[in-house]
Amino acid sequence: MVERVAKVSAPVSIPSPHVRAAASAALLAALAAAGGSAPRRVVADPHHLPARGAAELTPLVAVCPPGSLPDGDACVPFRRGDVAEGAALSAERNVHTDKRGRQQRYEQIPRQPDRPAAYEAYLFPIPTAPDEKLVVSGYDLHRTDQDQRRGAHLSAVGHGGVDVVAKRGTPVRSLPLEHQEGDAEVRFAGALFGQTVVTRHTVREAGRLRDYVVLHGHLDSIARGVVVGRVVKAGDELGAVGDTGSEGLVHLHLEIRQLRDAVDLQGLTGHDFADNARTVPVDPRNLLPLR
């Protein structure tokens, strides 16, 4: 429903036609991109209006009801909840028993209910065909102690990522996360889970920006030029699938972790990235892009 702007007792400065046209174009483009009158993602927001003439728009924005923006002399509704950003991902506590029989308490972020359970619904940093079941070991830190991964040849209890099988040498490429802003940045390249590349991704989440790190492990090799500080765009090669640190099982270990507040990412290296005191493991299905 479109509401006409209500009359106010105080004089209101109506924006110039050029400013109104810019605002209308931004709003209509967002609506068109979302596909109609009930948009999924509308990015129009008073803070994102063109800088030129933004001061002129303030009085008109002020008289529009909440959840609407001015379009000429009318207030057009938009759903703020559908701004292109992710929901807040909050940590939950869990516990498991390590191989020495000691209880280990930790935090982890389980899959959100609105995210598909099937790994085949997601894109990965290596090519996978639709419905191709390549994940041989999934995320299980949310499960009960006895249901978490363990075995004679595994160095740790539980699995904070996913293992995706592929041929040795398959290129591993930078993959933007859901609601990511800007490009990723290499924060580590070296020995961690075998040869590993760690990238930082900034995600818009519940009205704020949060940093996540993505660990690409057991690589056969690290791509030339992939060094700390390098900015990597979608599709840039990070390395190749291998079995370093997991001899005999050629696969990509993919792990996503949320940087804790007040932790300086610049000071992290090596095993710091997988330290629960500094980063929290996240079920990758929360942040991997859908097919």
pLDDT, tens digit, 9 for 90 and up, residues 57-76: 344 444 665 545 666 667 66
Q: How many CA atoms lie within 13 A of 258 on its CB side?
A: 23
Per-residue pLDDT at 276: 95
19 & 122 share domain: no
Please check whether residues 179 and 70 belong to one and the same domain.
Answer: no
Residue 45 and residue 66 in one domain: yes
Instruction: Name the residue among 213, 121, 216, 238 with its Cα closest to residue 164.
Output: 216
Residues 154 and 273 in one domain: yes
Q: Residue 238: pLDDT above 70?
A: yes
Decide if 40 contacts 32 (C-beta within 8 A).
Answer: no
pLDDT, position 288: 98
102/282: higher pLDDT? 282
Closest CA to 287 of 50, 86, 82: 86
N- to C-terminal Cα distance for the chain?
A: 33
For residue 74, the enclosing domain spans 3-82
Look at the chain and report how many structural domains it folds into.
2
Residue 121: Cβ within 10 Å count: 14
Lowest mean pLDDT among 55-59, 90-94, 163-167, 196-200: 55-59
Question: Is the same domain home to 123 and 217?
Answer: yes
- The domain boundary, picked from 45, 63, 82, lies at 82
Residue 291 maps to a domain: no
Which of the pair, 32 or 256, is modelled with greater confidence? 256
Percent of the chain whose pLDDT exceeds 90: 57
* Cβ atoms 28, 70 nearer than 8 A: no
Same structural domain, 152 and 197 = yes
Query: Are 176 and 104 in the same domain?
Result: yes
Distance separating alpha carbons of residues 112 and 130, to the nearest angstrom: 22
The last residue of a domain, from among 82, 112, 135: 82
Do 134 and 258 fall into the same domain? Answer: yes
Residue, of 256 and 153, whose pLDDT is higher: 256
What pLDDT does 130 receive? 84
| Domain-terminating residue out of 43, 60, 82 | 82
Q: Would the pLDDT of 5 be above 60? A: no
Q: In the structure, what pLDDT confidence band is assigned to residue 3 with cuts at 50, 70 and 90?
A: very low
Does residue 157 sit in the same domain as residue 71?
Answer: no
We report the CATH number of the domain holding residue 178 as 2.70.70.10
Residue 184 reports pLDDT greater than 50? yes
Which two structure tokens, joined as six digits, stand for 241? 């699938």
The answer to whether residue 87 sits within a structural domain is no
Distances (CA, A) of 178 to 4, 143, 147: 36, 24, 29
Rounded to whole angstroms, the maximal C-alpha distance in the chain is 78
With vertex at residue 110, the alpha carbon angle to CA 237 and CA 39, rounded to the nearest 5 degrees, is 75
Contact (Cβ atoms closer than 8 angstroms) between residue 242 and residue 218: yes
Asked whether residue 119 falls in the same domain as residue 53, the answer is no
Spatial separation of the C-alpha atoms in residues 76 and 1, rounded to whole Å? 7
